Structure 1
Amino acid sequence: MKRHSLVALTLPLVSVLLVGACSAPSSSNDASEQNGLACANYAGTWELFLEVDDSDCNGFGKQLKQVFVVEQQQCELSIDSGVTGDINGQQITWSVPSVRIDGGELSYASATAEILDGKITGSYLWEWSNSAYYCSGSTTVKGRILPEQEAASAELGEFDLTPPHPLLSPAENTTAHTFTVMAKQAEQVYLAGEMSDWRPDVFQMKANGDGSWSITLYLAPGAWQYKFVIDGNWIADENNERAVDDSRGGFNSVLVIGEESPLLSANPEIAHGEVVDARFASSALNKASPYAVYLPPNYHASEQRYPLVVLLHGYGSNYQQWLVDGKVQHLMDNLIAKQAIKPFILLMPSGEQSYYTGEYEQLIMQELLPSIREQYRIKPGAQNSAISGVSMGGAGAFYLAHKYPEQFGLSVPLSGYFDMSIYRDFTWQNFTMQSALYLYCGEDDHTSFQSNQRLVEQLENHKAEFTYTTAEGGHTWRYWNGISAQFLSQISAFFHP
C-alpha cells in the first residue's frame, strides 16, 4: 500500500513546537528597546488555538488549545522549549530548533506571527524527513494574551479539541459493535483497520480493570478488516475465526455487519470462471515469478477471443491480493451472469515492491504479456487491453499506460500513490496521455488522496483528458470493493462502445 512504513507524526509533539512558533502578546504595557526603538512587552500567559494540516504526512489534521507562559528580555521572546522570537513592531519572527521525532527530523521553513490589538495570528510551515521519506505541513494559529486575572487561574498545558471520530457516535444505518481484547500487561491498546484507514493511533481502547480493553464503534453494513495494536504490536483478534491473509505472513480479522454484498461471494447457481495460478520463468528476474489468470465462464467451450485487463497489486502485497481481498473472481462471475459486463480475461502479475519499474516492468511488458497473449485467446490491439491497480498498483497502471500506449488503451488507477519521482524516465515536459484515463480515490484516504489531487492538477495543466471520481472511503479494500462493480463496468463499456 504505502511506499514507506512512516508512522503518522505525533501531532501533540509537533504542536508543542509550533506553539513555540506561535507567539502572543502579554497584558503588560511596558516597553523594551531594540536598536533604540521601543518594543511592546508581549510576555505573559498565552492562550492559542491551533489548526494543524498534516495531510501530506498521512494525517487527518488536529485542533488544539495550548496555554503556556512566554518570557521576554528586551526585544526577544522565549518559552521553555528553547524557541525564541524577535520582535519587530507587531511582527514576530521565530527561531525554532529542529527536533528528532518519529524516526525523522522536523524543521521549520518559516514561523511568523502578528500581534494586533491583543489578538495573535500566525502561520507556520514545517517539514519532516528521514532517509526515505519527505512530507510537509502547516499550522495556523489564533489566540490572545490572557488578562492577569484569567492568567492567575488558567490551567497550563495542551488540550485536544479535535472533534470525536464519527464512528464513535450513533448514526443512521449503523450498528454498534464492541471490540474487546485481553491484554493484561499492556500500557496502550488501539483498534486499527479499515475503520481507521489502517492508522494505528485513531481508536484508543479503554482498560476495563480485569486485563481486558474495549471500544464501541457504530459501523455501516459490510465487511471490516481490523487488528489490535498492543504496545505497538499488531495482533489479529484471536476470538474471531473469520480472517484473511494480510500478505505479510499474518492475518487481518474480519467483522461483517449485516450482510456483505452478494457480488463479492461465490454464487452456486451461476456459471463460474476459472482461476489459473502459475509461475513464469523470468530472464529479467533470473527466477520464477508467480501470477494468476482469470478466465471467464465457458472459456474452454468456444473459440471466442476476449479483451484483457491487467490488475496490479499494492505495495507489500502480492499477485493474489485481487483474489483474496478484491474477490475479483466472484465479482466477474456475478457481473457476467447479470449481464452487467461482457466477459474479459484478467491477468494478475507479481510486482513485489517495485512500483512496476525496472526488472518487474521488463517482466510484465516484455516477457509475461507476450506469453499470456500467445497462451490464451486474447483480442489484439490497445483498444482491447486495459490496466488497473490499487495504491502502488494504481501508480503502476498510470505509468505503464503512459509509457506503452500501444499496449493499453485504458488506464484505471484506484487510489494510486503517485510519487512520480520514483519513475526515472517519466517527465511532465511535453506530457501527453494517449490512453483513456479513469482515476478513482477515496476522500478519506490519508495515504493517496493528496497525491491524486496533485496528479489531477498536473493533468489539468497539461490539458489531458481524464475522469476523476471521488467518494467517501479510505485506503482500504472496503472502499475498493465498493467501487469494483462500477470500474469493471466502465472497463467493459470501453471494450464495447
Structure 2
Amino acid sequence: MNPNLIGLQSVLKTQIELAGGLLPVEFRLAAPLAREVLLIGEMTDWQARPIAMQRGTDGIWRTTLQLRPGQWIYKFWVDGAYVPDPENPLTAADGWGGEHSYLLLGDGDWARHDVPHGDLLKLQMKSQLLERQVEVSVYLPPGYDQRRRYPLLYLTHGHRTRANQWASNGLIDNFMDNLLASGAIEPFVIAMPTIDGTQALPQLEAFLADELYGQLTRWFAIEPGRAATAVAGMTPHALSAFNLAWHRPERFGFVAPVSAFFLDETLDELDAQPLTADFAVKLYCGTEDYVQPLNERFAGILRKNGVRFDYMRVAGGHTWRYWNSITRDLLQTVSDFFKGAR
C-alpha cells in the first residue's frame, strides 16, 4: 500500500461522506518469488471477488483501486496463504488467530486532532468467577480527576474479536477526545472487556454486571447507580448488549445493541413472554448488514410489547466503515442519557 495516497490517521466521519468522491489507493506487496498475489478484503467482499495483482519487473505486485472515504480492511492472498500488509502499520486481530490490515481514508472528528487526549489503559484482571485473567481496556477522559465521579459505559466487541478492536479499528479514544473538546458530549469512562466465548453466558453476565463492575468502581472514580451505567456494542459469544441489560436491569439504565446477532432462540424467548424493558433502548444496524433481519424481528417484538426505543438505520454492512459512521451518534446518545438521567 502506498502511504502517500492515504491518511493513516483518518477514518470516515459520517455516513454522508460515504457518498463523496472516490480516492485512488495503490496496494503493493514486495514478493518477487510469489506465483500469485490477490487482494482480498471488504472492497472485494472478501473471497467473493478477489482482485488479481500484477507483478512488476521489480518484483512488486500492485493494483490501484478507487475507493470511497472510510475504513477498509484487507489482506493479501499469497500462493494460498493470508498475509497482512507489511508496509502498513495499522493492523488488528482478525478473529481467526491472525491479523488483517486496515487503511483509513478521509478526515473527521474521530481522527487524531490537536486536542487534549484521554488515557487508554490496557489492564489485566483476575476473575474468580471465570477462573482466568481477563483483558480490559479502559478509556479515561482528558483531565480525569479521582475526586469527582464519572458515568460508565461498557463497550462490547464482536464475535471472535477482542476489546482492543474498539481502540484499533474503532478509534474510540480519538472519537471521545474530539467530541469532548468540541463540547458535543460530557466526560464518561469506557470499559472494554475481552469476552471469551468458551464461558457460559450466566457466568459472563455475572462477571460483567457484578465482578467487573465492582472492580472498576474500586479502581476508578465511577458514579454508582443504573442512571450512570450503560452498555453498548456488538455481540460476543451470543451475549448481546440487550441480553445483558435485560437480565440485569438493576445495573444498566441504557442499552444500545450495535449490529447485534440475536440468536433465534433468544428472539423466540423474547417473543413468547411479555417483555418489559425498564431502561432506555437504541438500536443500530446497517441496511446492508446480514443481521438486519434479526434486528428487524427484534424491533417488532419491542413494538408488540409497547417498549419505547429508537432505531437508527443508515446504509452500511457488518464492517468498521459502518460502525465508525455511527460512533459519533452512539457516544452523543450515551452522553445525553447520562445527562438526562442524572
- Say if 2:38 and 2:53, in contact at 8 Å, map to a contact too: no
Mapped pair 1:254 → 2:102: yes
Instruction: Identify which of 286, 289, 310 aligns with 1:445.
Output: 289
Mapped pair 1:492 → 2:327: no
Partner SS state of residue 47, structure 2: coil
Sort the Cα spacing of 1:432 and 1:388 in 2 relative to 1 into closer, same or farther, 3 A. same
For residues 20 and 189 of structure 2, the distance between their equivalents in structure 1, rounded to whole angstroms, comes to 40
Partner SS state of residue 305, structure 1: coil
Aligned to 1:195: 43
Sort the Cα spacing of 1:464 and 1:305 in 2 relative to 1 into closer, same or farther, 3 A. same
**Alpha-carbon distance, 1:415 to partner:** 0.7
TM-score scaled to structure 1, two decimals? 0.58
Mapped pair 1:324 → 2:168: yes
Aligned to 1:474: 317
TM-score scaled to structure 2, two decimals? 0.82
- 1:26-74 Cα deviation digits (max 9, x unpaired): xxxxxxxxxxxxxxxxxxxxxxxxxxxxxxxxxxxxxxxxxxxxxxxxx
For residues 313 and 433 of structure 1, the distance between their equivalents in structure 2, rounded to whole angstroms, comes to 23
- Say if 1:394 and 1:412, in contact at 8 Å, map to a contact too: no
For residues 77 and 235 of structure 2, the distance between their equivalents in structure 1, rounded to whole angstroms, comes to 23
For residues 321 and 418 of structure 1, the distance between their equivalents in structure 2, rounded to whole angstroms, comes to 21
Instruction: Identify which of 245, 248, 251 aligns with 2:92.
Output: 245
For residues 40 and 133 of structure 2, the distance between their equivalents in structure 1, rounded to whole angstroms, comes to 35
- Say if 2:158 and 2:234, in contact at 8 Å, map to a contact too: yes
- Say if 1:312 and 1:349, in contact at 8 Å, map to a contact too: yes
Count the aligned residue pairs.
Answer: 317
Mapped pair 1:373 → 2:217: yes
Alpha-carbon RMSD across the aligned residues, in angstroms, is 2.9
Mapped pair 1:403 → 2:247: yes
Aligned to 1:177: 25
Spell out the pairing of 1:183-332 with structure 2 (5 A cutoff). 184-186=34-36, 190-196=38-44, 199-206=45-52, 208=54, 216-230=64-78, 233-238=81-86, 240-247=87-94, 248-257=96-105, 259-265=106-112, 267=113, 269-300=114-145, 303-332=147-176
Spell out the pairing of 1:5-154 with structure 2 (5 A cutoff). none
**Alpha-carbon distance, 1:342 to partner:** 0.3
**Alpha-carbon distance, 1:490 to partner:** 0.7
Spell out the pairing of 1:151-166 with structure 2 (5 A cutoff). none
Sort the Cα spacing of 1:383 and 1:393 in 2 relative to 1 into closer, same or farther, 3 A. farther
User: In structure 2, what residue type is equivalent to 1:374?
Assistant: R
For residues 166 and 99 of structure 2, the distance between their equivalents in structure 1, rounded to whole angstroms, comes to 16
For residues 330 and 53 of structure 2, the distance between their equivalents in structure 1, rounded to whole angstroms, comes to 43
Larger RCO of the pair (alpha carbons < 8 Å, separation 6+): 2
Mapped pair 1:435 → 2:279: yes
**Alpha-carbon distance, 1:397 to partner:** 0.6
Higher-Rg structure is 1
- Say if 1:297 and 1:333, in contact at 8 Å, map to a contact too: yes
Sort the Cα spacing of 1:216 and 1:355 in 2 relative to 1 into closer, same or farther, 3 A. farther
The gaps in structure 1 that reach 5 residues or longer are 1-170
Partner SS state of residue 388, structure 1: strand
The gaps in structure 2 that reach 5 residues or longer are 1-18
**Alpha-carbon distance, 1:424 to partner:** 10
- Say if 2:71 and 2:320, in contact at 8 Å, map to a contact too: no
- Say if 1:418 and 1:451, in contact at 8 Å, map to a contact too: yes
